[in-house]
């Protein structure tokens, strides 16, 4: 669109027209020699041809389609009016210097230095100030809170950790949250789940393998301990029904999808202990955590055991059995995993009954020759009730 605006500007005749009169306007001295009367003629009154483009509002509308580079290189050089009109958008300017330029140009650059700034750094500073102001507004009684928004999708080169800390506290009514990024960051799932207590579906993915690390602290540890103590007290009283074992602070999560992320098994255990309604669990291209976090053990003492990615699935399977979680859809895959290992695990998933017998949703990893093995599994071991098939 701004290319069209530039063509419109280039076709305009933004200049003054002078008409020369044959009539001598000198008072009573027609033969007097003057700079305006070299050939016996004097100029008539100067006139300017007015057009619609002389209206500032119209020019401002046209300039709004131009980027800053076009304004700096073309528009501001036409006339003073256009320069003043574009000045609010050019309040800051950059001065570029590199070692390929001649030393004799340094004086020219230094003249332009006063008032210049690093444009990208200034924008980042302004963005941080806006985020800080938004975060501080939560502390007051008139904090901005969106009560009706139920679905949010975040995508791009963004820091999900910063976004969850500053944005999600404003959205307590969210039920569906999708976060996709290719930036390297760490996300505290505990902060996400506490900020959005109504969350039913969460999907976290990264375009690059292992770029997003999910903080193992899904739920504050004391919250998990209180939940376990509450269940134990109910069992001691003889109340073994499901309603009595459900903690008032149980999470309504029904679907958890983690793609190209790293997560600690201890955090996943905390999540499964508080999600009795979980139906879908998909760990796609799982990787080991990059760091070695200090984890509290059952007795509250710190522990530094990091999950071994090779033993993650057997321990996860035991966790699902311990919490009596039966899923409608389950996916587990690792990066650069050998085909025999992946095929054996798929057979184990079906044999151990991690999914319901009549599960209609299945998800497979399409690495190497696994699709052919998955096709054989669908034909021979899974009932013909599949309505949704995902090939990751």
- The pLDDT tens digits of the residues spanning 308-356 come to 666 788 888 888 888 888 888 888 888 777 777 777 777 777 777 788 7
Note whether 42 and 36 are within 8 A (CB).
yes
Ranges assigned E (strand) in the chain: 151-156, 176-181, 185-188, 201-206, 212-215, 255-259, 261-262, 280-286, 295-296, 302-303, 329-334, 361-364, 388-391
Task: State the chain's mean pLDDT as an integer.
Answer: 70
- The pLDDT of residue 183 is 76
**Does the pLDDT at position 390 exceed 70?**
yes
Q: What are the extents of the domains in the chain?
A: 2-91, 150-325, 340-392
- The pLDDT of residue 254 is 92
Identity of the highest mean pLDDT range in 20-34, 48-62, 134-148: 48-62
Note whether 171 and 179 are within 8 A (CB).
no
- The pLDDT of residue 202 is 92
Which band of pLDDT confidence, cut at 50, 70 and 90, is reported for residue 91? low
Q: Which has the closest alpha carbon to 169: 143, 204, 187?
A: 143
Note whether 79 and 53 are within 8 A (CB).
no
Average pLDDT over residues 352-381: 69
Sheet holding 212-215, edge to edge: 185-188, 212-215, 261-262
Higher pLDDT, 115 or 211: 211
- The pLDDT of residue 203 is 92
**Does the pLDDT at position 198 exceed 80?**
yes
The length of the chain, given as a count of residues = 392
Higher pLDDT, 213 or 219: 213
- The pLDDT of residue 221 is 44
**Does the pLDDT at position 293 exceed 50?**
no
Share of the chain above pLDDT 70, in %: 58
Give the CA dihedral 340, 344, 347, 349, nearest 10 degrees.
Answer: -130
**Does the pLDDT at position 201 exceed 90?**
yes
**Does the pLDDT at position 109 exceed 80?**
no
């Amino acid at each position: 669109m701004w290319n069209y605006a530039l063509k419109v500007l280039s076709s305009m005749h933004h200049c003054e027209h002078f008409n020369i009169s044959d009539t001598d306007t000198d008072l009573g001295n027609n033969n007097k020699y003057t700079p305006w009367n070299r050939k016996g003629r004097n100029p008539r009154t100067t006139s300017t041809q007015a057009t619609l483009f002389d209206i500032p509002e119209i020019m401002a509308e046209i300039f709004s389609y131009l980027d800053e580079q076009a304004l700096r290189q073309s528009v501001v050089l036409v006339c003073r009016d256009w320069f003043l009109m574009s000045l609010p958008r050019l309040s800051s300017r950059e001065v570029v210097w590199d070692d390929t330029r001649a030393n004799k140009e340094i004086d020219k650059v230094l003249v332009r230095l006063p008032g210049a700034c690093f444009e990208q750094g200034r924008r980042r500073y302004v963005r941080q100030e806006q985020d800080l102001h938004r975060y501080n507004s939560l502390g007051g009684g008139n904090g901005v809170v969106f009560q009706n928004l139920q679905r949010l999708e975040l995508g791009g080169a963004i820091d999900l950790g910063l976004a969850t800390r500053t944005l999600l506290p404003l959205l307590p009514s969210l039920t569906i949250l999708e976060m996709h990024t290719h930036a390297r960051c760490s996300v505290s799932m505990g902060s996400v789940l506490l900020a959005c207590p109504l969350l039913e579906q969460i999907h976290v993915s990264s375009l690059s393998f292992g770029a997003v690390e999910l903080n193992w602290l899904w739920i504050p540890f004391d919250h998990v301990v209180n939940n376990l103590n509450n269940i134990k007290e109910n069992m001691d009283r003889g109340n073994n029904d499901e309603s009595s074992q459900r903690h008032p602070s149980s999470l309504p999560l029904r679907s958890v999808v983690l793609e190209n992320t790293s997560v600690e098994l201890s955090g996943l255990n905390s999540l499964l202990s508080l999600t009795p309604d979980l139906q879908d669990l998909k760990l796609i291209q799982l990787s080991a955590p990059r760091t070695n976090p200090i984890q509290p053990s059952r007795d509250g003492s710190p522990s530094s055991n990091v999950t071994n990615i090779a033993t993650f699935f057997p321990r996860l399977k035991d966790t699902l059995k311990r919490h009596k979680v039966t899923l409608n859809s389950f996916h587990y895959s690792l990066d650069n995993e050998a085909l025999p290992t992946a095929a054996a695990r798929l057979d184990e998933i079906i044999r151990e009954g991690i999914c319901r017998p009549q599960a209609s949703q299945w998800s497979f990893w399409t690495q190497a020759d696994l699709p052919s093995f998955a096709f054989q599994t669908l034909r021979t071991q899974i009932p013909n009730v599949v309505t949704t098939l995902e090939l990751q």
